[in-house]
Amino acid sequence: MKCRNCNKKTATIKGRQKLYCDTDCKDKYWAELKKKHYKPKKCTICGKIFTPRSFRHVYCSLNCKRELERTKSLRTPPLKFCEYCNKEFQPYNSLDKYCSSDCRINNKKSKRTKNWSEEKCKNIMGNKNPSFRTGNYVRGKKRTMVGERAYHRIRNEIRKKKMKEWGYLFCDNCGTNKTYQWEMHHIVYRSEKPKHKELHNPLNLIDLCMKCHNWFHIKKDRRNKLVKERGLVKLFK
């Protein structure tokens, strides 16, 4: 077989014949091909004419490449307007939004005052707060009061009936028996009817897995079928 560059006979190595006689011939052959495919260019940094290896190459050597990267890093970002005071400033990075630390702190304070204004706080204080405790739960030695004791008693009774009839616990919604934790769910929430007599009625309770319990708490509309089937409208009016 002949060399692609100089047309001389090439040697064989391990039963395979070489395409080139030397590495010099190989480099010359590929250099001529690059000249055909890629036209010579001017280096953007030193102005030297060179044949690029691909259409993306803009520099002739590694030194020029490093200088180009250094000039990019030294470029200053364009001017911006501060989001708080609308003052024009020179940012240190492209991610800067405020002209100073004072504007950044004042912007956070303004958001807090909007979220915690006097009118909003009045609507959340006391009985209007959704997490308001109504005497069923008290922090201290006697945590389980009358309401909590009734809830635990009825919950245990429901689970005992399941164990007698089926021999295992399962979710009333999806039917799975493989879960890390069983959770008893109030169809009508405690926060809606805290002092109602029928709050811990077995009709208002469902034994669920963790996924189904979270699914019910995302939207209240998902309980509408259970409310109609169990007749909870008459109980809670």
What's the chain's length in residues? 237
> What are the C-alpha distances in Å from 165 to residues 180, 202, 207?
22, 17, 15
Location of structure tokens 């052959």: 29
For residue range 100-146, what is the model confidence (pLDDT) as tens digits? 999 999 988 888 777 777 777 787 777 777 666 654 544 544 444 66
pLDDT value of residue 87 = 92
Strands 205-208 and 183-186: antiparallel
pLDDT value of residue 39 = 79
Q: For residues 19 and 5, what is the distance between their CA atoms, to the nearest angstrom?
A: 9
% helix / strand / coil in the chain, to the nearest 5?
Answer: 40, 10, 50
Confidence tier at 9 by pLDDT (50, 70, 90)? confident
For residue range 145-196, what is the model confidence (pLDDT) as tens digits? 667 888 889 999 999 999 999 999 999 999 888 887 889 999 998 888 877 8
pLDDT value of residue 86 = 92
pLDDT value of residue 134 = 57
Confidence tier at 98 by pLDDT (50, 70, 90)? very high
pTM for the model: 0.40
171 Cβ neighbours under 8 A, 6+ residues apart: 177, 179, 207, 208, 209, 212
Q: Percent of the chain at pLDDT above 90? A: 22
Maximum mean pLDDT: which of 24-33, 66-75, 224-233 = 224-233
